[in-house]
Structure 1
């Protein structure tokens, strides 16, 4: 975008190169933190609205126009609440845990290609980076559950470790299926390949299967219902964050919604062309790419919310059976089929 280039040129014209680089990085960090907060609040409101719609309720409609400021009021309430904790908790790890979850989500956001110009960190191992970073978030959950010195929190944390390790396999293999088509781990190059057609269309049936497995595994990775064994309220109180309150609880709560956005954003980038319009108009009007990217991502977020209010929670054994006996074997066969399609050059070209 011209405005971004103008800011870059202006900074380098009024200060030394080293200082300008630091200022630029700070501005980018502030922009992403602002987006993190606003997106989190919006997704919480969206969740409550979608839940009300599915359950034939009204939902929040008092604070602000049509309840638009309800999540802002909730955030102010959490900021003003007292931070409590158990006497026997490991104070250092207890306080450190929420930041693992928040920082891992922010690092994942940095490589998202909102448009061709708006991408803070475009590296040649983008997909590998995302898979690696997603593993860091679970450390915060494990630390929080263990350091709380609460049996319900510990059970929730252990479930999180088992669930994340299991379903990361399906996420990685489904993404690997699509990488076979593009021959690159760099997100910007994967988007460029899709200028001739979205990968979910180019890749025939294996691409559709990979997308379906990715969405199921991604929902489990974010601890969303029907895979919310980590914080099963009817069994564990609040699960791994039972002993958290105030802003520390808000960090965990906010990170769940941002992680849901990230899972949907990765699917948008890999399967649906990221910021590319199906009509080709983003090439002539670049700023429209942001709306296409956000629109596709929010549709997939809605799909994940739809899962929550449609399917009942699985038992732990059912959750692991689904991954190890069904999704993983299907994924392995799917990769072989995709490899054959690529080898025989059968991908659809527009």
Structure 2
């Protein structure tokens, strides 16, 4: 098994770089097609329905048929939109979603037509921060789509998305800080090599739990799909979009799901390394076989996305904000401090001692984190009610009637 590092990149011929970029793009598009079909089939199974079963073998071509249908639909542009930004917003949402996958490792060093190359497009000394930055740009597509539509509900969806990204990217970034402390690097390929003894899910369990929750919020998926809540905002930020422009938003959402799943695999599940006890088999972590382990781990997270959508109702907005600001961020910050203290205290100790202490502390913090999550989810809706009005004051909600409305009331008619 040969672990790539930063010195392994920058030596490929141009045609190999182009081939890698094309393979990454095709992988993402095919994953989106399969994910949409799998989501509909799995949700149908969980809800005791059939799901798509007409187009192709057991509905296997349904996603492709839906894509062709969207491409052939008439693209409507409402009157009153800011047309340049309205047309640019879907592109801004898709491009960062695809670009972020450039630094995700698929496997170890392999031989391609005589060239020894890593199964990764490129790597950077700050690769994880690059992913965090580039995915943050993608939210501009949602915000600008809501603002440029010139409509109330898309604007509210865009504002919700802004608050959502600010709230949950802080907790996500603190999860990354714990990984950086333990691996002493921000390179994705070197983070995987630092997990050759212990996967970070065992040593940084609170970081994994917080990241798993934050990645659902970052991708606007249920139960955190508040920017596109159809029960409140019709369709949210993409209400005024149709045809291929709407399809690009869907493409960006599912590619973002794949990206955050791949990043979780890289940071906490050993990346492309085989799980135990398969890792004991000779050749399990060499050649092209690690690509299978990587894709399998990514699809575990994709299944969890579908499972959550089928199982949980949408959160109230106050619950969502309480969870991010009062539970995830303080816990993540405290856990980073704990990891730093343990790392400093065990600087000259054996790796096994440090791993045992981190695992024990992680379990304790994870239990406290889950207790805080349960408490935040049980916040009563009555807490949102306005304070009781003073005697003689109209207690209208959310605003009292205007003076003109009071004077226009029809007096009661006596029956005498």
Q: Structure 1 length normalisation: TM-score?
A: 0.90
Tell me how far 1:82 sits from its aligned partner. 1.0
Q: For residues 316 and 258 of structure 1, what CA distance do their matches in structure 2 show?
A: 25
**Inter-partner Cα distance in structure 1 for 2:244 and 2:122:** 28
> 1:175-190, aligned counterparts within 5 Å?
175-190=176-191
Aligned match for 2:38, one of 26, 32, 46 = 46
How much does 1:347 deviate? Answer: 3.0
Kept in 2: contact 1:85–1:148 (CA 8 A): no
The alignment status of 1:78 with 2:70, answered yes or no, reads yes
Rounded to whole Å, the distance in 1 between the matches of 2:152 and 2:21 is 37
Superposed CA offset, 1:199-249 (max 9, x none): 122x1xxx1111111011110000001101000011111110111111110
1:298 matched residue in structure 2: 299
1:108 aligns with 2:100: yes
- State how far apart, in whole Å, the 1-side matches of 2:103 and 2:269 are: 17
- Unaligned residue ranges in structure 1 (runs of 5+): 2-11
Q: In the alignment, which residue of structure 1 is the partner of 2:364?
A: none
Which of 103-112 and 47-56 deviates more? 47-56
- 3-state SS in 1 of match to 2:105: coil
Q: Provide the residue aligned with 1:8 in structure 2.
A: none
The CA deviation at 1:283 is 5.7
- 1:46 positional shift: 1.3
Matched, 1:228 2:220: no
1:284–1:322 CA distance, 2 compared to 1 (3 A): closer
Q: How does 1:123-272 map to 2 (within 5 A)?
A: 123-201=124-202, 203=203, 207-272=204-269
**What's the RMSD between the two structures over aligned residues?**
1.8
The alignment of Structure 1 onto Structure 2 pairs a total of residues equal to 328
Bigger shift: residues 300-309 or 168-177: 300-309
Higher helix proportion, which one? 1
Q: Deviation of residue 332 (structure 1)?
A: 1.1
User: What residue number does 1:7 align with?
Assistant: none
SS at match of 1:348: helix
How big is the shift at 1:28? 3.3
**Post-superposition offset of 1:284:** 5.6
| 1:313 counterpart residue number | 314
Change (3 A) 1:284 1:86: closer
Q: Which runs of 5+ in 2 are unaligned?
A: 2-10, 109-117, 347-352, 357-416
Question: In structure 1, how many angstroms separate the alpha carbons of the residues matched to 2:306 and 2:344?
Answer: 37
Deviation of the 1:195 alpha carbon: 1.2
Note the C-alpha offset of 1:30: 2.7
Give, in angstroms, the shift of residue 97 of structure 1. 0.6
Q: TM-score, normalised by structure 2?
A: 0.76
Paired position in structure 2 for 1:288: 289
The residue number in structure 2 matching 1:348 is: 355
